[in-house]
Amino acid sequence: MEALKQKIIDEGKVLSNTVLKVDSFVNHQMDPILMKQIGEEFAERFKGMGITKVLTIESSGIGPALMTALEMGVPMIFARKRKSLTLTEGLITSTVRSFTKQETNEVTISRDFITEGDNVLIIDDFLAVGQAALGLIDIVKQAGANPVGVGIVIEKSFQDGHKTVKETGVKLESLAKIASLEGGKVQFVNEGDQQS
């Protein structure tokens, strides 16, 4: 997705060989026009799959997930990382280790919102080692629903997440694929290259 790649080139900050900061349009300030385009792109890539719900994890996944859900005309659910005072019963929980924060969270959703027979599209801002995506796939399966797709805004293709998600058999679509962050430079995957 060219508009996203250009935004990464213009505003992304390489913090290390493994971490990209995109605080000005995804992770702190959000660019609504870009988010709308992202929603349209995901809706196009996952069309015809009978998706009934979009699932993400708080907080940075919410923007792209909501725009995708709006475009598809289905509800969006975000998994919570912290225990909620009002969300106490009928929970589905999975454990996710955060790549950037180096902490482990119990992520939860209410059983009320994803149920048997739902076809669920999982959306997240980044794919690193794949823990967040695996946790969300696990939650969908525990609900008796079908994880039919994983849509990622920025995939760091040099880390293991791509392979890990592919191994689950769930369709993976990433809008910007980064081959390397070495030397403080963002290098995108050449779209002509084969990726397993």
Site residues, ligand 5GP (CB under 6 A)? 19-22, 27, 60, 98-100, 124-132, 161
Helical (H) or strand (E) element with 34: helix 32-45
CB of 143 to ligand 5GP, least distance (A): 20
Nearer residue to ligand 5GP within complex by CB, 73 or 183: 183
Strand partners, 42: none
The single-letter DSSP state of residue 190 is P
Nearest to 29 by CA among 53, 59, 3: 59
CB of 68 to ligand 5GP, least distance (A): 15
CB of 116 to ligand 5GP, least distance (A): 26
Nearer residue to ligand 5GP within complex by CB, 46 or 158: 158
Phi-psi region of 64 (alpha: psi -120 to 50; beta: other; left: phi over 0): alpha
**Separation of alpha carbons 181 and 187, rounded Å:** 6
CB of 20 to ligand 5GP, least distance (A): 4
Nearer residue to ligand 5GP within complex by CB, 131 or 157: 131
